Amino acid sequence: MVDELARAVTAGGTVRAFAVVTTRLVEEARVRHGTLPTATAALGRGLTAGLLLGGMLKTGERISLEFSGDGPLRSILVDATPEGVVRGFVSRPRTHLPARDGKLDVGGALGRGILCVMRTSLEGAPYRSIVPLVSGEIGNDVARYLLDSEQTPSAVGVGVYVDADGRVQAAGGYVVQTMPGAEPATAEQLESNVSRSATPSELIRAGLDARAVLAHLLAGFPPAVVEAGPVRFGCHCSRERVGAALVAMGRAELADVLAGDRQAEVICEFCAQRYLVEEAELRALLAGADGGASQ
């Protein structure tokens, strides 16, 4: 099954819904970051939530979610675009806790804290919103953000199924929203559909793709207008950005590196890509820094 985000509008525009399958990209994130099962579930839910919120943005915008808690995981940081590209990491990828109620204990791993959401665009100042974590389970926390900051009642579900050897077998999620003008009966029908539904990971394990998840959640509503597109794990780190970061350290720091190891290894937090910068390149960066300072 392909990783894909689907969007739907029904009930005369008073209901909109998003569903996403993220199995492959969450597995890629697990491999990149070497996460243990609880950390894998936490990161996967965060990546899924990022894509769902990113799907609500306009072209040129970007959304960042930072879940910060007092649990052993500490934090999850995710960055997503409306084009379906997401990246992210957890502070402590080797976090794993005993299961709670038969499920990976993401809430216990994250603990109490806050969710900070930042939306940026090519034009205008960034929009930043902070809400307290409801449960640390990600889905409820995103629903709280949508209600408090966007004034949009939403049902949010995100889930990751990890098998016995730690690999991701199913991952995905959904957001279902009532928009202004929705009839009370519409909201009641949505609540009934969501409450009777299996979890996102169970739906995906049963073979439902993103479009089918939407059809399942919108049962009983008029046929929806649906559009869908691929999603993937992607990072915009590059050797050029690494060079700029090294220059930003300052001339003295670069000179110390050259006097010592004579090379620098830089690891991108978001995707775990390793960059080895050899002596010749470091000297070129130092020369460039000197040139920039003299202008």
The model's pLDDT over 40-95, given as tens digits with 9 standing for 90+, comes to: 999 999 999 999 999 999 999 999 999 999 999 999 999 999 999 999 999 999 99
Q: Which CATH number is 243's domain given?
A: 3.90.1280.10
Q: Which residue has the higher pLDDT, 283 or 112?
A: 112
Model confidence, pTM: 0.93
The model's pLDDT over 143-196, given as tens digits with 9 standing for 90+, comes to: 999 999 999 999 999 999 999 999 999 999 999 999 999 999 999 999 999 999
Same domain membership, residue 285 and residue 143:
no
Same domain membership, residue 187 and residue 83:
yes
- 291 pLDDT above the threshold of 60: no
Same domain membership, residue 197 and residue 124:
yes
- 288 pLDDT above the threshold of 80: no
Residue with token string 């934090």: 75
Contact 84, 51 (CB under 8 A): yes
C-alpha–C-alpha distance, residues 228 and 210, integer Å: 8
Q: Which CATH number is 47's domain given?
A: 3.55.30.10
Q: How many CB atoms lie under 10 A from the CB of residue 292? A: 10
Token couple for 156: 């949010």
Same domain membership, residue 271 and residue 140:
no
The model's pLDDT over 123-139, given as tens digits with 9 standing for 90+, comes to: 778 999 999 999 999 99
Structural domain ending residue among the three candidates 184, 206, 233:
233
The model's pLDDT over 262-280, given as tens digits with 9 standing for 90+, comes to: 888 999 999 999 999 988 9
- Say how many domains are in the chain: 2
Same domain membership, residue 168 and residue 34:
yes
To the nearest whole number, what is the mean pLDDT of the chain?
94
Q: What pLDDT, on a 0 to 100 scale, did the predictor assign at position 293? A: 41
Same domain membership, residue 271 and residue 143:
no
Residue with token string 């243990």: 36
Annotate the chain with three-state secondary structure. CCCEEEEEEEHHHCEEEEEEECHHHHHHHHHHHCCCHHHHHHHHHHHHHHHHHHCCCCCCCEEEEEEEECCCCCEEEEEECCCCEEEEEECCCCCCCCCECCECCHHHHHCCEEEEEEEECCCCCCEEEEEECCCCCCHHHHHHHHHHHHCCCEEEEEEEEECCCCCEEEEEEEEEEECCCCCHHHHHHHHHHHHHCCCHHHHHHCCCCHHHHHHHHCCCCCCCEEEEEECEECCCCCHHHHHHHHHHCCHHHHHHHHHCCCCEEEECCCCCCEEEECHHHHHHHHHHHHHHHHC
- 282 pLDDT above the threshold of 90: no
Share of residues in the chain with pLDDT > 90 (%): 81
- 117 pLDDT above the threshold of 80: yes
**CA R_g for the chain:** 21
What is the pLDDT confidence band of residue 294, given thresholds at 50, 70 and 90? very low
Same domain membership, residue 204 and residue 149:
yes
- 13 pLDDT above the threshold of 80: yes
**Residue closest to 137 by CA, chosen among 177, 173, 86, 92:** 173
Same domain membership, residue 156 and residue 80:
yes
What is the pLDDT confidence band of residue 290, given thresholds at 50, 70 and 90? low
Contact 110, 101 (CB under 8 A): no
**Residue closest to 175 by CA, chosen among 138, 148, 205, 130:** 138
Q: Residue 276: which domain range? A: 239-294
Same domain membership, residue 247 and residue 150:
no
